[in-house]
Chains A and B, each alone.
Chain A
Amino acid sequence: MLRISQLKKNYRQPDGQTVEILDLPQFQLGIGEQAVLIGPSGCGKTTLLHLIAGIISPTSGVVELDGLKLSQFSESARDRIRADKLGYVFQTFNLLPAFSALENVVLGMSFSSKRVSRSRALELLDQVGLSHRLHHRPGSLSVGEQQRVAVARALANSPKLLLADEPTANVDPHNQQQVIDLIRSVCSERQISLLLVTHAMEVANQFNRVDRLEEINLVVRRSRVTV
């Protein structure tokens, strides 16, 4: 599903110096596979997710998503691929405050080439346990509810790959487990590959595959993370 090779991302600082943010020789994720990515702050985890999503372009290297090499596509085409094949759950939920829970979920499928289905949005919200909060705006939802809406939105376009960037960082421990369970179960159920970034070891420990993105940005693959 996801194949990365020789991926590099550099940034040019205001003083003209080039800083290497990411250098990832190899990374793969199979269909329906679920992986956790851990690593210290600033090691490039979010940058990697942005590169996979096609939000930013790599300095060099290849990101191949569902057989499509993103670097071969224009920005507009990458937007379309993102809309069709990717789901994205953010650390700060990033729900649009002007829209109700239902509208936020509908918005998740509005930019894809697939048909917008209100019934699917209702089904997803029911699945995350929010069928009674359909028309509430994010401001009137609890933190846990907001994240569940964000999960429903990320799944709305039936993605092939779900990227989750510290989805439980702002959630209390009780809701944290609910969110993780929800993401994992839905991905398993629908054969959606999952790449989840987290700092929380109690979250990482629940996954069979944990990848550590070291400061040198080389992925060290282990079968299980040990504390």
Chain B
Amino acid sequence: MNVFKIAWRSIQYRGLGSFLTILSMALGVMLVVAVLTVYGLVNEFFRNNSSFGYNILVGARGSSMQLVMNSVFYLSRPVETMPYEYYLGFCDKATREKELRHSLAFQSLEQQRAVAEYLSQAATQPLANGWSAVAHSIANQTLADQQQALMKLDSEGEFAPYTDLAIPLLLGDSWEDTQTGIGYRVVGTNEKFFEHLILDLDTNQKFECSAGRFFRDQDSEVGYFGCVVGGAVARQAGLNVGDRLQITHGLPSDSGAHLHEQEFVVVGILTGTGTPHDRVLFVNMEGFYLLDDHAKPINDDSILAQTAAALDPFADEGFDDNAPDQKVAGGESNVVQDTGATDTGADPKAAPEKTEPSKMSADKIEPDPKLINRIRLPMEAREVTAVLVRTSSVDPFGTLGMFLPPRIEQGGLANTLNWSAFRPKRQQTSVQAVNPIQEVTALFSNIEPAKWLLLALTVMICVVSGLSIVVGIYNSMNQRHHEIAVMRALGANRTRVMTIMLLESILLAVAGGLAGWVAGHLLNGALSPIIEANSGVKISMFQFAPAELLFANELWNSFLPESIVQFRMSPEILIIPGLILLAVLVGTYPAISAYRTDVAKSLGK
């Protein structure tokens, strides 16, 4: 009979005591495993997704960390919105001109020109008030020219020369799967997001669809209401191409959250990327703007309004701050016509009032006149949550990512706001530009101490559990001395009985460790949905804590061989060896006690 069996029999014999010792050890190890794996995977998740394909994130002034969390990882609450013009500050001439032409200001000028032309024709006729009208026309035409000059239609954005890519993001809405009750973030963006954003700079990985396609900015089948669903969302919620869904205004936890009436149509399912993009639904930003409560109420300080006010003292009553906000959403506006769509007067409130995605067609989406004939929201009523900026590849010194953010923050974009007479009633104009990689690095330098504190606490639990092994053995030492004496009388030497005692301690620790390891992973599996919902990190039940540089430390890196410093291993691997070491340490006292057992004296007991 070998020493293992002898030690194990002793553990079995002290059933309840051994069980409680193993249990306390298992609880300690369970917490260690949970902390290591959850922290490790969250860490890995954020670090792996720090290869963004853009290097500047622009958003409204506020917490830079919050901006990164909600714009990069789709977590936390969105910060304030910022003017749409700020996005145009990074756009080329063609994009900017197209957007500026799609504004109330431009439309107003066009109308003003038409009025001036009409009045010029009228001035040639001898009417009573003819000279007065001509005078108005000339004055207004002069103002209109000045305003058009302010718009700088033929100019590119202020930061366009330094920009390769600028993608707007609209955040704050969500979609709730009524089957599971799980809410997913909704991100409004444009087709450039899918076409130009690089997921992994090393492999040049881009978005792909496992089914369907990306939405287009002007989509012939679904108009502005295309939706591309992240791979994880589609899998969990069972969404397919052709499904229709209504999104919620606000996040599910918001008190004022309500369902938008307008439906979006799923046109594509993203192939899983292992990034936060898997957990969100992307919708066309044009459709996003057309949802109720998404258009900013605006003040009309245009020439036409001024003229009307001069002729009619009651004309500006509609802009009374105490009056209900003037909505410029969706089909209610007939001021601006998009070049690619005509207003059929479709009533968005006529949309079906159901939250379940209704299937249109599994394979093909039929063009829907109700969706495609909608008018874009004019520019003045728009805002964006963030802009993802990739600086120009023509950057010989590699410094654009460093010097551009301060310039953006110093107010360069604010100069672009005075081009239109139509202004949102409330607008935040201060802006921040951050490097997302730096923010993520800073985040982890803040979290690291918390991890070590948590680990220290859990290790302390293990040490206390280890002490319970000593207490358990010590309490039975009287009986054990007799048993040891019998074994000695049968021929066991001191080393043998000491080994048996140490083995008993080690077996208790290892049994507790293995049970705790399994329990820790079961706990991870049980907590996985909660962790995923709160952090976006998906943890499978038996996923190991990611490998780390275990021996690297500034204090001793220079003294250790490079191969040891660079050695990466999952810290979980160290749990059992660590427990064995702990067991040897705590088992030393009983083992020495066994070694010193007075056989003759103990046999007589």
A96 at interface by CB-CB < 8 Å: yes
A53/B489 contact (C-beta < 8 A), A107-B1, A110-B1, A116-B1 known: yes
Q: Are B491 and A103 in contact (CB under 8 A)?
A: no
Inside 8 A of B335's CB, which chain A residues have their CB? none
B16 to chain A, nearest CB (A): 14
Q: Are B491 and A79 in contact (CB under 8 A)?
A: yes
Q: Are B486 and A111 in contact (CB under 8 A)?
A: no
Q: Are A84 and B491 in contact (CB under 8 A)?
A: yes
A46/B1 contact (C-beta < 8 A), A80-B491, A97-B13, A99-B9 known: no
Inside 8 A of A110's CB, which chain B residues have their CB? 1-2, 6, 490, 492
B480 to chain A, nearest CB (A): 10
A157/B599 contact (C-beta < 8 A), A46-B604, A99-B9, A110-B1 known: no
| Nearest CB in chain B to that of A154: its residue | B490
A36 at interface by CB-CB < 8 Å: no
B550 at interface by CB-CB < 8 Å: no
Interface mask (A48-67 → B, CB under 8 Å = 1, otherwise 0)? 00100101100000000000
- Most chain B CB within 10 A, of A86, A90, A94, is at A94
Q: Are A83 and B9 in contact (CB under 8 A)?
A: no
**Complex-state Cα separation, A107 to B483, whole angstroms:** 12
**Complex-state Cα separation, A94 to B487, whole angstroms:** 10
**Complex-state Cα separation, A48 to B490, whole angstroms:** 17
A197 at interface by CB-CB < 8 Å: no
Inside 8 A of B600's CB, which chain A residues have their CB? 47, 50, 55-56
Query: How many contacts A-B (CB < 8 Å)?
Result: 75
**Complex-state Cα separation, A149 to B494, whole angstroms:** 25
A80/B490 contact (C-beta < 8 A), A55-B599, A94-B603, A99-B9 known: no
A106/B1 contact (C-beta < 8 A), A56-B600, A94-B486 known: yes
* Interface residues of chain A: helix, strand, loop or mixed (majority): helix
Q: Are B489 and A94 in contact (CB under 8 A)?
A: yes
Size band of the interface chain A makes with B:
20 to 34
A153 to chain B, nearest CB (A): 7
Inside 8 A of A13's CB, which chain B residues have their CB? none
B12 at interface by CB-CB < 8 Å: yes
Q: Are A75 and B494 in contact (CB under 8 A)?
A: yes
B496 at interface by CB-CB < 8 Å: yes
Q: Are B6 and A107 in contact (CB under 8 A)?
A: yes
Interface mask (B101-140 → A, CB under 8 Å = 1, otherwise 0)? 0000000000000000000000000000000000000000
B488 at interface by CB-CB < 8 Å: yes
Q: Are A107 and B487 in contact (CB under 8 A)?
A: yes
Inside 8 A of A82's CB, which chain B residues have their CB? 489-491
**Complex-state Cα separation, A80 to B6, whole angstroms:** 18
| Nearest CB in chain B to that of A118: its residue | B1
Inside 8 A of B495's CB, which chain A residues have their CB? 76
B493 at interface by CB-CB < 8 Å: yes
Q: Are B490 and A153 in contact (CB under 8 A)?
A: yes
A98/B10 contact (C-beta < 8 A), A79-B491, A103-B1, A116-B1 known: yes
Interface residues of B (CB under 8 A from A): 1-2, 6, 9-10, 12-13, 482-483, 486-496, 599-600, 603-604
In the complex, besides A50-B599, A107-B487, A110-B1, 5 extra interface pairs with C-beta distance below 8 angstroms are A47-B600, A82-B489, A83-B491, A116-B1, A153-B490
Can you list 16 pairs linking A and B with CB atoms under 8 Å apart?
A55-B599, A55-B603, A56-B600, A76-B495, A79-B488, A79-B491, A79-B492, A79-B494, A82-B489, A83-B490, A94-B489, A94-B603, A103-B1, A107-B487, A112-B491, A157-B491
